[in-house]
Amino acid sequence: MLRRLLRRLMPVVALLAVTATAVAGQVPPDAPWRSFESEHFRVTFPAGLESLARETAQRAERAYRVLAAALVEPPGGRTEILLTDYMDTSNGLAEVAPYKRITIFARPPVDGFALSHFDDWLELVVTHEVAHVFHLDVTGPLGGFLRGVFGRVPTQWPFFPGLGTPRWTVEGLATYYESALTESGRVRGSYHDMVLRTAILEGRFDGIDQVSGLSPTWPAGQRPYIYGSLFFDHLLDRYGAERMGSFVEGFAGQLVPYRLNAAARRAFGVSFSEAWDEWHDSLREELESRRGVAEARAPFTTPEAVTRDARFALFPRVSPDGQTLVYSVSDGRGDSRLARSDLSGGGADRLTRTNGRAVFDWTAEGGVVFSQLEMEDPYRMWQDLYHARPGGGVERVTEGARIDHPSVAPDGREVVAIQTGPGSTRLVAVSLADGGVRPLTDFDPEVHWAFPAVSPNGRWIAAARWSDGAWFDIVLLDREGGLVAEVTRDRALDVAPAWSHDGGWLLWASDRSGIPNILAARVEGATGRVLEERQVTNLLTGAHFPSVDPQGRWIYFSGYHADGWEVERIPYRPAEWFEPAPLDERFRPSGAARPMAAAADLPASDYNALATLRPHYWEPSYLEPSSASRRTVIGSSLGLRTRTRDLVGRHTLDVEVLASTSGARLTGGASYAWGGLGNPLVSVLARQSWDAAGPFAGTRPDGAIDTLWVTERQRNLDAGVTLLRSRFRHAASLTLGGGLVWENLTVLDNRLEESPDYSLNRAVARHRELSLSASLSTVRAYDFSVGPADGVSLFALARTRSEIDVPDTLRSVVGWDRSFNEVRARVALYRSLPGPGYGPHVLAVRASAGAAEGPGADRFHFDAGGASGLREPVSGLDLFGGPVFFFPARGYLSGERAGRYAASVSVEYRFPLALVDRGMGLFPLHLDRVSGALFFDGANAWGPELGVAGYQNPRRQALTSVGGEVVAEALSFFSIPLVLRTGLAVRLGASGGTQWYVRLGRSF
């Protein structure tokens, strides 16, 4: 049976699981890690980041002190902090189970969006993540008792109730404290304000049920941070900041979980649902006040729309000949790309696909130099420069240089850009000819650079410069990086400078008024002296990334709306520009001191994996009964399992032990994976499992017939090595595995007791196994797609098993020698297609084939039939099926065909039906979207035909069916994604009939 074969492939499955973890974590386990301990934290860091690591410890100890006073009692024990700089992104992650862990990415956020308003990047991100640990570690009396028994089981209520709250409470709370306990942060910045202000202005403000879901509708993944942080800011300002701790503890202590409004009423005196409506009303009043102030300053700007439904349309730039507009697009319906629009009315197309949103600039010849992410290996992902040539084709300029934000010099030989280093950025000049990098400034943890722009005469570089204390300003430098002038000097975000066509004006985006608009300064070309400053736009929404076309007719920019960023334009008319708005009060520094704990003298040592590798929990485990022909032969099993992985992923250990409720049968084992080499990964596995088969007929000497069953105890000892190749657009692996298998067969009578009258000639067998598997995937899914949308997925396996102790006289004899060879392969193809609805339509095709040979390849080697899907986890109803089948055929029973050869094909046409994005208040269920599919399935299995009685299994008519499915994507219990599909399959051919089914997960 295929299910039994899959269990024998556990080393491969274990290695692929480790592979996925390694890629997601972006932490190289083979790096030279170091560690030291402060009072409440252990900080682990690469050898080159010790100075930043000590600053991280200082900021963590400060966050610990202030959160202990402002939120709840501190969590017990030490929290692990992993500081890493192997990925060109700005982020932080916090986990509380199975142990308290914080991961910090050292690169500072300099993109000009929400995160860029920071006094100190480490202080902001560490405060945010420590707030998560304080919040999510809280539990009630029941959870405390169960943690004492089972340990830190990584699940929601009652172990970690905070994990069972909407993301807006989790991220909103941490974002609120990152701002309340520092002098900057997202609550104090303008980006979150802009999103909510525009949502109200354009009638798209989300209800509390929408914010509690998981929807790609704008602002998508940022929704919990934006709505949550500003809602808590309103709530705590009105009802008292000291009540947040009462809410956290009250919710965690609930015996009836998930009742957010009840916990809010006890803590704040008002439910979240009621407070949400109050908050919405207050935001409307604030909008009207802002409208009056802005309207009194100057007439509102009325831009001309250039793009529609782009979602992210950023960095618009017109070609040197003035004929083509290029901008970066990420619309959630296809690949991120540089889009090209013919300004003479010839339409738009794709210039090139990009790995994420890409910053770019034109060359004088009409080419485009852009930056994008690429993975160097499974753990490192850097930004580098690429050159899209005028005649077509893309060439890589740098490799592993960590270069971003390019600006091409007028002579076309160099690109001025930023280079990421240890916790900072610097300005560099990059040769387009050979990719050589020449530094213009130094790496300085107290100075970061962004968005350089070379002047049309090639003499000056305008750039955005962050300096300690949230001073993010526009400065002018000469071509060697020497400072010429400070154009701005305030704590507002002044970013993305761009020169006018003649170099007489410098434009940039600024939120100095609290609303992002475009400002400009007149610059003397010969000296770089700044002569005057003006405001260009007066918008209530927001404007970013300005540029002036080469003819000086238009200013293009990214304009903000309730559904994202669109390219817009206004006439280039300096005479109509006006006096800049005064600086908003939020950007005036308070000057309050932020004392840090000393960490300079803490001794560091080489990383010790044992500090985090020990098991932290034992989780109850359950195994379904083993049945044959609908009779339960082996009862269900109960036991415990754990999984532990050290901080950097060098060691991963899984242990599971279960005891059957019928008979003294133990199931389980242990697997261990080692990532100390980085690549390849190595694993070993030892496991015991049980299976059942039957019924069989036994004949007594007197001619009486007995009904018999056979149980199989199988013990595996396996090892494997996996080579990985990871790139931004594809992932591949190659696994070589081998091991030993011990089988012990027992005959049971009809009472399911060991039969004294019947035995097998060879009840015990030993086998050697060797397998080679390979996988490749280029599959990607977009925010609005109905599952996988484009790409190909390939999997192939070759496996040989030889019986060790079969007598030579019985070798290769059917029924005695259980040796076999097999190959299996599966390919899945996805292609997105245009069509009506919220996302692309998809044509999906999957084909599988398998063949086995040898005396042990019997008629039950492969199964065909059944509707793939996962068993529904609560009721366990058979209605919800079983595993994902290798050879499915919807409308038929699993195993309806079996044999040593098998093949299947499935074709689906998938289409969107409705983007619902609704819930029922704070009830823990949110329906995101609904899609449909029409399908054809065909599958068959046959063989062998050996000419021996009992071994004929001819190829019969294939199992074929057609039908349709409806797929609902939801979020349950505030954090568990749920894909539920129901379908009706019509069997074709002589069998006829229909079958209705319900499954969890997609068919493929």
What tens digit of pLDDT does each residue of 248-286 get? 999 999 999 999 999 999 999 999 999 999 999 999 999
Structure tokens at 675: 């990532």
Q: Give the least confident one: 451-465, 745-759, 765-779.
A: 745-759
Q: Are 408 and 361 in contact (CB under 8 A)?
A: yes
Tally of CB atoms within 10 A around 609: 16
pLDDT at residue 12, rounded to an integer: 35
Cβ-based neighbours of 413, under 8 Å, separated by 6 or more: 431, 432, 433
C-alpha–C-alpha distance, residues 1003 and 868, integer Å:
6
pLDDT at residue 947, rounded to an integer: 61
pLDDT at residue 951, rounded to an integer: 60
Residue 345 — pLDDT band, cuts 50, 70, 90? confident
C-alpha–C-alpha distance, residues 936 and 197, integer Å:
48
Cβ-based neighbours of 233, under 8 Å, separated by 6 or more: 176, 179, 180, 187
Residue 190 is classified by DSSP as: S
Q: Are 890 and 933 in contact (CB under 8 A)?
A: no
Which residues partner with 667 through β-bridges? Answer: 658
Structure tokens at 417: 């850009």
Residue 895 — pLDDT band, cuts 50, 70, 90? confident
Q: Give the least confident one: 146-160, 217-231, 577-591.
A: 577-591
C-alpha–C-alpha distance, residues 717 and 176, integer Å:
51
Sheet strands (E) in 625-763:
626-628, 631-634, 637-645, 651-660, 666-674, 681-699, 705-726, 731-748
pLDDT at residue 949, rounded to an integer: 58
Structure tokens at 987: 């069997």
Q: Strand, helix or coil at 184?
A: coil
Q: Strand, helix or coil at 99?
A: coil
Q: Strand, helix or coil at 179?
A: helix
pLDDT at residue 133, rounded to an integer: 98
Residue 879 — pLDDT band, cuts 50, 70, 90? very low
SS3 content of the chain, % helix, strand, coil (to 5): 20, 40, 40
What does the longest C-alpha to C-alpha distance in the chain come to?
Answer: 115
Q: In what order do the strands lie in the sheet with 437-439?
A: 403-408, 414-421, 424-431, 437-439
Q: Which candidate, 118, 126, 107, places its Cα nearest to that of 424?
A: 107
Q: Are 541 and 201 in contact (CB under 8 A)?
A: yes
Q: How would you write 692-705 as a 3-class SS string?
A: EEEEEEEECCCCCE
For the chain, give the number of residues.
Answer: 1004
Res 8 pLDDT > 50: no
Structure tokens at 239: 């009802």
> Pick the residue with more confidence: 965 or 14?
965
pLDDT at residue 545, rounded to an integer: 98
In degrees and rounded to multiples of 5, residue 240 shows phi and psi of 110, 125
pLDDT at residue 617, rounded to an integer: 97
Write down the mean pLDDT value for the chain. 92
Res 883 pLDDT > 60: no
Helix H or strand E segment including 369: strand 368-377
Which residues partner with 426 through β-bridges? Answer: 419
Res 510 pLDDT > 70: yes
Tally of CB atoms within 10 A around 303: 18
Q: Which candidate, 1001, 954, 771, places its Cα nearest to that of 11?
A: 771
Q: Strand, helix or coil at 371?
A: strand
Q: Strand, helix or coil at 875?
A: coil
pLDDT at residue 599, rounded to an integer: 66
Which residues partner with 507 through β-bridges? Answer: 498, 520
Q: Which candidate, 574, 111, 34, 10, places its Cα nearest to that of 328?
A: 111
C-alpha–C-alpha distance, residues 57 and 587, integer Å:
27
C-alpha–C-alpha distance, residues 698 and 708, integer Å:
7
Q: Are 404 and 418 in contact (CB under 8 A)?
A: yes
C-alpha–C-alpha distance, residues 500 and 556, integer Å:
11
Q: Give the least confident one: 79-88, 325-334, 475-484, 884-893.
A: 884-893
pLDDT at residue 990, rounded to an integer: 77
C-alpha–C-alpha distance, residues 838 and 912, integer Å:
6
C-alpha–C-alpha distance, residues 185 and 178, integer Å:
6
Residue 595 — pLDDT band, cuts 50, 70, 90? low
